Chains A and B, each alone.
Chain A
Amino acid sequence: MNRFLILIMLLVCFSTPIAGVAETGHIHIRGSSTFYHILQQVAEAYMVENPGVKVLISSGGTTRGIKAVIDGTAEIGAVSAAMSDEYVKLAEEKKLKLITHVVGRGAVVPFVHPSNPVSDLTLEQLRKIFCGQIKNWKAVGGKDEPIFVTANEITRGCFETWRRCVMGKDVIVSSGALVLEPIPLRNFIASTPNAIGYISYLDVNSTVKPLSVNGVAATIETVKDLSFPIRRDYGLIIRDNASKTVLNFINFFLDPSKGQSFISKNGLAPVK
């Protein structure tokens, strides 16, 4: 009788994890629109190599990606910003363990008009400029001219990265800042000599002048070796009991000759 009970208990213990690792043959991915195109390219290559697996991709933003993994409507959440406290709490409430695999990195760079003589600022100088404590270019080695501060929309991944890496928790942006979307912002600064803004380094072109930070210029190499300080991670969030199919896809994404090659092809820094 006792043996029988032990057998039942063993069966109960093992049945849950076994159900978690079963091959499913499909992966639903939801999330970040920022690296949607890279995800699509990697998924396409993955399906060529694994014709039995269907990889479905929907965009909708980082937040929806995280939520979908928590509520079980997708196997992978694609994220380009850190998980907000609200969702960390929700996952805890549901007793879920989520794992983030960083698959690529990008930089957010401060930039100015090409005629501006300033070419490097420290993180501290940037923070003071963007919260309005430094108001004149003269204070950071430039001309005796007022600084025109611009900013990104609060919903943008760039804003979140800038807040986390430069501004800190309690300082937001100088109240007089002009808020624009990335491309209009770049065009505005290209025609405004005293302005400063920040943008994904993928969006920098020859009409503006990117600044180095703490003496380090933003390049794929300085992002990869983590020496450039204003970085954002691109990640895939999964549950700790994700299926073998999902783990295979993650491994494919992290393979230097496979998924990682799409990261570098699209101008981001690979992690492997």
Chain B
Amino acid sequence: MNKRRKILYLAAMIILIIIMIAIMTFKEMYYNIQNPPKNLLVAGSTTLNLYLRALADSFMKVYPNITVITAGGGSTAGLIAVKKGAIDIGGTSRELTGAEDDEYTKAYLIGRDGVAIVVPKVNPVSNLSIDQIRDIFEGRIDNWKDVGGNDAPIAVFIRDEEATTRGGFEELVMSGAEYVPTAVTCNSHPELAAAMDKNVNSIGYFRDHWLSSELGKNLKALSIDGVQLSEKAELTGQYPLTRSFFFVFDGDPKGIAKLFLDYACSEAGQAVMTKLGAIAVY
């Protein structure tokens, strides 16, 4: 009798477990029916990609059924692709032109960042114009005395081609011009800071948030056309080396594309961007 009761008890347990597993499986099936796996395609500006990847990663943690696929290719390519319906969101790191911003196009500002032009603190120069900066990086101006500094040769330091800051700098300053052949290429911000620390005649570019870190303690940001880099000057656009990032849609944002836009504009999304050196715009 006792043995029989034990068997019954065991059987009851097994049935219960089976039922529980069934419920859980069913629940997952139900969730998958409600939230089927989806892909979101975002492409555009290469210099926006750093932010885009980080946004996508934290977004996918909140919405595990959505896969965000990002690609570079440039702002213009992204705009064309979104208008042809090939992707869901086009990402640009520049303002749209009047012709691009047609009746159906919607461009949402999601972030801004600034490129700092830096020199060692001992350099007496405190301001340069955009034209002077281009001339220096191109090699047309090669002595600090030509821009109000000491009689000393200028040493130009740049970042590797993968660097977001380099892309931003080239968009905003170089307009297609080549760097001076003697420019020294550094593969990271720490490497750049270390190299510049050793050369009092150096000039280079940094993303603004590096400047306030330990790395930038011997460097200073120049004001450009008389405007000092600050969050306020980036918000108003007065600081000339400010980039704007847009999510561009063809028509009203819908479904998971809207979800991703809302996430980018939310406190969490903006925090992802600011951690990488952008300034929050919401």
Contacts and interface: CB of A to CB of B under 8 A. Distances in A.
Given A26-B282, A56-B236, 4 more contacts: A40-B238, A44-B233, A47-B235, A67-B101
Interface in A27-80: 28, 36, 39-40, 43-44, 47-48, 54-61, 63-64, 67-68, 71-74
Size bin of chain B's contact surface: 20 to 34
A90 interface: yes
B281 A61 contact: no
27 contacts: A28-B109, A40-B238, A43-B235, A43-B236, A44-B232, A44-B233, A44-B238, A47-B235, A48-B232, A54-B281, A55-B236, A56-B235, A56-B281, A57-B235, A57-B236, A57-B237, A58-B95, A58-B109, A58-B237, A60-B95, A60-B96, A60-B101, A64-B96, A64-B98, A67-B103, A71-B106, A73-B106
A57 B244 CA distance: 10
Contacts of A72: 106
B9 interface: no
Contacts of B109: 28, 56, 58, 73-74
B98 A55 contact: no
A71 B232 CA distance: 26
A56 B239 CA distance: 12
Contacts of A58: 95, 109, 237, 244
B112 interface: yes
A73 B110 CA distance: 11
B237 A40 contact: yes
A40 B236 contact: yes
Interface of B: 95-96, 98, 101, 103, 106-109, 112, 232-233, 235-238, 244, 280-282
Interface residues of A, number: 27
A59 B237 contact: yes
A54 B110 CA distance: 13
A71 B96 CA distance: 15
A28 B281 contact: yes
A73 B108 CA distance: 5
Contacts of A54: 235, 280-282
A47 B280 CA distance: 14
Nearest to A43: B236
A139 B98 CA distance: 42
A136 B143 CA distance: 57
A42 to B, nearest CB: 9
Contacts of B107: 68, 73
Contacts of A55: 235-236
Nearest to B247: A73
Contacts of B101: 60, 64, 67
Interface string A1-45: 000000000000000000000000110100000001001100110
A57 to B, nearest CB: 5
A24 B112 CA distance: 19
B57 to A, nearest CB: 25
Nearest to A51: B232
Which one of A43, A44, A64, A73 has the greatest number of beta carbons of chain B within 10 Å?
A: A73
Contacts of B232: 44, 47-48
B273 to A, nearest CB: 13
Given A40-B236, A44-B238, A54-B281, A90 B103 contact: yes
A38 B280 CA distance: 23
Contacts of A47: 232, 235-236
A67 B100 CA distance: 13
Contacts of B244: 58
B250 to A, nearest CB: 12
Interface string A87-116: 000100000000000000000000000000
A49 to B, nearest CB: 12
A74 B280 CA distance: 16
A48 B235 CA distance: 12
Contacts of A74: 109
Contacts of A61: 98
A37 B81 CA distance: 34
Contacts of A71: 106
B134 to A, nearest CB: 21
Nearest to A70: B103
B237 A44 contact: no
A252 B148 CA distance: 40
Contacts of B106: 71-73
A59 B236 contact: no
A215 to B, nearest CB: 39
Which one of B106, B232, B235 has the greatest number of beta carbons of chain A within 10 Å?
A: B235
